[in-house]
Amino acid sequence: PPANVGRAPGPPDGGWGWVVVVGAFISIGFAYAFPKGIAIFFKEIQDFFGTSYGEIAWVSSIMLATTYGAGPISSILVNRYGSRPVVIFGGLLCGIGMVSAAFCTSILQLYICVGFITGFGLALNLQPSVIIIGKYFLKRRPIANGLAMAGSPVMLCTLAPLNQFLFDNFGWRGSFLILGAILLNCCVAGALFRPIRAAPASVKPQVTEEGKDALKEEVTEEAMEMSSPTNVPMANKTEEEGGKDCCEKINQYLDFSLFKHRGFLIYLIGNVLMFLGFFAPIVFLAPYAKHIGIDEYSAAFLLSILAIVDMIARPTTGIIANSKWVRPRIQYFFSFSIAFNGTCHLLCPLASGYTGLVVYSIFFGLAFGMVCAMLFETLMDLVGAARFTSAVGLVTIAECCTILLGPPIGGTLIDTFGDYKYMFIKCGAVMVLAGSFLFIMNYYNYRMLAKEEKERKAKEEDPKSVRTENEGRNNWNKETAQDGPELEPLREEQEGLKKEVNGT
């Protein structure tokens, strides 16, 4: 029998993958841009229902909270059913939510229809799109991620004037009806997400030679264990299911063992901290501009500049992150972009007049795009594509709290001190702190991974350490908690060798 009978094919890194990127572009674009784009209708709805601005703003907050908070549910569903059905269902849910919102007669109904239902639909769009990119790409994953994430600014630039046009011609009810139909296009994006059998090898092309070799041989054992359930279960699985305890069953749906994963914890803490200062400057950029005397249209134009620079920065960052110099050290690049973002905010109060703010907007757009493009790529890099499904769900629900807290804290600072500079200083300081934390902790993580790998190599050379396949797989969960993803291809090689010895 040929030597590679036990190995599954690696991710295509192209071909249909690029079509999937287009679908993810649409899905991610709607998920991020829609809550912001809807703000155009708020004034009219506020007058119609006779509520205060605060009550209307809750619609946006509920939508954002649901999109991030429903992350784990999204992850569980993807683990169970794969990306495609979840995205199609999410698209339908969004459509239903907005269409029913068009017939609402109270603000509470709006909270439910626009906030919860549409928000939940968007959550079912966001996570699976990011996950399926990890399944289709490995070598070119940063580029794919960068391109897909570029959907957010592009959609925002499209939705803003479109919403205004719809509002002028159809009023808010008609606009919601038509927006419901537009959101159904997420179903088209979902239809493009063809299920793929093999999850890519969770390889981190690290400093070692083995890493580079593993990249060439794209093997995965995880694919057979934890990938889409359309796979025929292995013979051993029935034995395993008998021996599974409650924890493992839960972990199959949502991998809580990630909380023992060092890289995951570093990412989680760093990102939760970062999001405290991430969105507030965007929310307050236009009001700040108006505050220092710039007229409304020029202030709005600042946001357009930001969006345009963002649009270009994301794919560009993806290309840079994919280059052979940056990819092994992508975590450092990520930490650097967060710190760069923070520095922009710290320098913003020094910007005087409109020109200064334009320069700030350009740099902010650049930094924002860099961070967003690598947001999910770095997580994939740390935990590997198979566990990414659960990881992204757990991360988004943790980020949900700080995302919601960020702008109100900024707003409180502005109200208390009457000056915007404290908000910028707070955001800048938080992000520089987060960037530095991530930089230092990832340096530590890289060193620990290198050390563990050396230990593994030493063990491998010892013939007594060759275990049976079952034992190896049962120990899998415990081991992956400590090991980094780049060690898995080594183990795969080991398993492959064992199969050759044991198998046909």
Partner 1 sequence: GPDLTTQEFKQATKENMSNVTFVEYEVLLPGVPGTSMEKNITLDSATIIELSCRLDNKYSRLKRFQVTWKRGNETIRHIDKTENSWSIQLKILDSSKLGSYSCTLKGEEEISAVFYLQVPKIEGKEKPIVSYEGDSAIMICKSFGYTPIAWTWYMMNGSEQIAINDSLLADKYVINSVSANVTHLKILKLTKEDDGVYWCEAAFELGRSKGNLKLKVLSLMVPLKPFLAIVAEVVILVTIVFLYEMYSKKKEKCAEDEKEFDQAEQLKSEESNGLENSSARNRK
Cα(252)–Cα(240) distance, integer angstroms: 12
In this structure, which amino acid lies at residue 398? A
Stretch that binds partner 1, among 107-115, 181-189, 311-319, 349-357 (CB under 8 A): 181-189
Looking at the Cβ atoms of 178 and 380, the one nearer to partner 1 is 178
Is 176 in contact with 101 (CB distance < 8 Å)?
A: yes
51 binds partner 1 per the rule CB under 8 A: no
Q: Would you put residue 293 in left (φ > 0), alpha (ψ -120 to 50) or beta?
A: left
Looking at the Cβ atoms of 283 and 300, the one nearer to partner 1 is 300
Looking at the Cβ atoms of 190 and 484, the one nearer to partner 1 is 190
Which two tokens mark 317? 């960052």
Say how many Å lie between the first and final Cα of the chain, rounded.
7
192 binds partner 1 per the rule CB under 8 A: yes
Which two tokens mark 490? 């080594």
109 binds partner 1 per the rule CB under 8 A: no
The Cα-based distances of 406 to 152, 279, 341, 402, 413 in angstroms read 20, 7, 15, 6, 11
Q: What is the size of the binding site for partner 1 (CB under 8 A)? A: 23
182 binds partner 1 per the rule CB under 8 A: yes
Is 385 in contact with 17 (CB distance < 8 Å)?
A: no
Stretch that binds partner 1, among 7-15, 125-133, 173-181, 391-399 (CB under 8 A): 173-181
Looking at the Cβ atoms of 184 and 425, the one nearer to partner 1 is 184
Torsion, Cα 382 383 385 389, to 10 degrees, reads -130
- Report, in Å, the least distance between residue 184 CB and partner 1: 5
Q: Which of 178, 254, 374, 385 is the binder for partner 1 (CB under 8 A)?
A: 178
- Report, in Å, the least distance between residue 177 CB and partner 1: 5
Cα(388)–Cα(270) distance, integer angstroms: 17
Looking at the Cβ atoms of 105 and 238, the one nearer to partner 1 is 105
- Report, in Å, the least distance between residue 185 CB and partner 1: 6
Looking at the Cβ atoms of 155 and 348, the one nearer to partner 1 is 155
Which two tokens mark 270? 């760093």
362 binds partner 1 per the rule CB under 8 A: no
Q: Would you put residue 353 in left (φ > 0), alpha (ψ -120 to 50) or beta?
A: left
Q: How many CB atoms lie within 10 A of CB 478?
A: 11
The Cα-based distances of 232 to 84, 160, 198, 240, 262 in angstroms read 19, 46, 12, 15, 32
DSSP reduced 3-state for 195 = coil
Angle at the Cα of 365 (from 36 to 350), degrees rounded to 5? 110
Looking at the Cβ atoms of 169 and 468, the one nearer to partner 1 is 169
455 binds partner 1 per the rule CB under 8 A: no
Q: Which of 4, 14, 48, 233 is the binder for partner 1 (CB under 8 A)?
A: 48
22 binds partner 1 per the rule CB under 8 A: no
Cα(76)–Cα(372) distance, integer angstroms: 24
- Report, in Å, the least distance between residue 170 CB and partner 1: 5
187 binds partner 1 per the rule CB under 8 A: yes
Q: Would you put residue 82 in left (φ > 0), alpha (ψ -120 to 50) or beta?
A: left
- Report, in Å, the least distance between residue 172 CB and partner 1: 8
Q: How would you label 204-213 residue by residue, b for 16+ Cβ within 10 Å and e otherwise?
A: bbbebebbee
Looking at the Cβ atoms of 194 and 467, the one nearer to partner 1 is 194
14 binds partner 1 per the rule CB under 8 A: no
Q: What are the backbone dihedrals phi and psi of residue 232, each rounded to the nearest 5 degrees, phi first?
A: -70, 125
185 binds partner 1 per the rule CB under 8 A: yes
Q: Give the DSSP letter of residue 197.
A: S
Q: Which of 73, 188, 265, 308 is the binder for partner 1 (CB under 8 A)?
A: 188
Q: Which of 3, 5, 108, 181 is the binder for partner 1 (CB under 8 A)?
A: 181
Q: Which of residues 279-308 bind partner 1 (CB under 8 A)?
A: none
Looking at the Cβ atoms of 168 and 245, the one nearer to partner 1 is 168
169 binds partner 1 per the rule CB under 8 A: yes
173 binds partner 1 per the rule CB under 8 A: yes
Task: Concatenate the DSSP letters of all residues of 202-262 into one string.
Answer: -----SSHHHHHHHHS---SHHHHHS-TTSPPPHHHHHHHHH--HHHHHHHHS-GGGGG-H
5 binds partner 1 per the rule CB under 8 A: no
Stretch that binds partner 1, among 170-178, 276-284, 330-338, 450-458 (CB under 8 A): 170-178
162 binds partner 1 per the rule CB under 8 A: no
Handedness of CA 249, 253, 258, 259 (dihedral sign): negative
- Report, in Å, the least distance between residue 175 CB and partner 1: 8
Looking at the Cβ atoms of 101 and 344, the one nearer to partner 1 is 101
- Report, in Å, the least distance between residue 167 CB and partner 1: 8
194 binds partner 1 per the rule CB under 8 A: yes
In this structure, which amino acid lies at residue 40? I
85 binds partner 1 per the rule CB under 8 A: no
Q: How many CB atoms lie within 10 A of CB 56?
A: 20
Stretch that binds partner 1, among 167-175, 254-262, 311-319, 473-481 (CB under 8 A): 167-175
Q: Which residues bind partner 1 (CB under 8 A)?
A: 47-48, 50, 167-171, 173-175, 177-178, 180-182, 184-185, 187-188, 191-192, 194
